[in-house]
Amino acid sequence: MTRKAFNPDVGDRAEFPKLKEQYGEDPARFLQSSKDLAEARIAGIQSRELLEAYRAVAKQILSGGDLDEAMGYIDERERELTGEPITPEPDPTPEPIATDGGTVAEPEPEPEGTTEPSGHRHPDATALEAGQVLVVDVDDTTEFVWPQTPECDAPYILEIHADGEQLDSFTLSKRDLFSRVRHDDPAKQPAEDVAPDAPATAALGGVE
């Protein structure tokens, strides 16, 4: 049976306990997590054997576009581990097209002032939508992770709270986020439903 990938809210998840015993982790957990966590975990794999385990599990539990996307992450990591060159992606800019038999129509320049509004999320903050918060309970503290706005250097900002007080705050990369929550069970919530006020750099998407 195939399942929807990149969806941490799916209750009926595939499990591979023998692989978890052998490698210390179950590939299905990350392949059925968010795209951001799945991509970050695969990018951090150092063992080709573990990478092949991810490939085998992906073929068993995923299908369609989900399988293609996961296999793309796995293939790219395999090329990195083996030292083979990675074929660059083609330039998405369309070639100019002659519209009058000889004159080439150049693309229209984008008008000024069309940059993304500040409420939109950072392009690398793919684990969360604008206006969402990742909530992680760790011992006696609660960690809140917001996506940041596009002009920020890092895609995420994390705050640590305990007893209603903020203890710490710092930014996270995609890989930092994966490393931070890989052994926890984070929950996504609307920003307006959590107690702390969002940081000034949080991407709220119009949510106040």
Q: Tell whether 207 is covered by a domain.
A: yes
Q: Are 131 and 69 members of one domain?
A: no
Q: Tell whether 23 is covered by a domain.
A: yes
| Per-residue pLDDT at 191 | 85
Cα 4 to the center of its chain, rounded Å: 16
Q: Are 120 and 207 members of one domain?
A: yes
Q: Tell whether 4 is covered by a domain.
A: no
| Per-residue pLDDT at 4 | 45
Indicate the pTM of the whole model: 0.48
Q: Are 129 and 171 members of one domain?
A: yes
Q: Tell whether 104 is covered by a domain.
A: no
Q: Are 120 and 208 members of one domain?
A: yes
Q: Tell whether 11 is covered by a domain.
A: no
- Tens-place pLDDT, residues 159-197: 999 888 999 999 988 888 877 776 566 778 888 888 788
Report the distance separating Cα 59 and Cα 53, nearest Å. 10
- Tens-place pLDDT, residues 47-93: 999 999 999 999 999 988 888 889 999 998 898 888 865 555 555 55
| Per-residue pLDDT at 2 | 45
Q: Tell whether 109 is covered by a domain.
A: no
Residue 164: left if φ>0, alpha if ψ -120 to 50, beta else—which one? left
| Owning domain of residue 61 | 17-82
Joined together, the tokens standing for residue 182 give: 């890989």
- Tens-place pLDDT, residues 96-122: 555 555 555 555 665 554 444 446 888
Side-chain-side CA neighbours of 1 within 13 Å: the count stands at 6
| Per-residue pLDDT at 22 | 92
Q: Are 177 and 135 members of one domain?
A: yes
Of residues 177, 131, 187, 180, the one with CA closest to residue 154: 177
Number of domains in the chain: 2
Q: Are 128 and 188 members of one domain?
A: yes
